Amino acid sequence: DGGITQSPKYLFRKEGQNVTLSCEQNLNHDAMYWYRQDPGQGLRLIYYSQIVNDFQKGDIAEGYSVSREKKESFPLTVTSAQKNPTAFYLCATTRGPYASGANVLTFGAGSRLTVL
């Protein structure tokens, strides 16, 4: 998994519950990202963080929250406000910000969330 650990791999949630997905990296990469993947769809950016204690909303941030208290960790909380949370969630890192021409995205193995 390229030094990125996502947990849990599978998660089931009842409607109305908040859940937190973990993403930990040992690559010493500065930037971390959360993507959502739905069947037959491209990846969509939820949140990203380029430095500790700072993060930015992506295209579909509503109903999600994040924190970046440590360089190694970027947890994603799926709140009850997210109306359709069943999806495959992918965490990724880059050594520097996207604007760098040589940046390569490294992905974790993903977490599959199912709302019952």
Chain residues binding another protein by CB under 8 A are 1-2, 4, 6, 31, 33, 40-43, 45, 48, 50, 56, 58-59, 88, 90, 92, 97-110, 112
With CA atoms as reference, report the closest residue to 11 among 89, 109, 93.
89
- Say how many C-beta atoms besides its own lie within 10 A of residue 60's C-beta: 15
Contact, 30 vs 94, CB < 8 A? yes
Q: Which residue, 67 or 106, has its beta carbon nearer to another protein? A: 106
In whole angstroms, how close is the CB of 72 to another protein at the nearest point? 18
CA 23 to chain centre: 7
Q: Which residue, 19 or 34, has its beta carbon nearer to another protein? A: 34
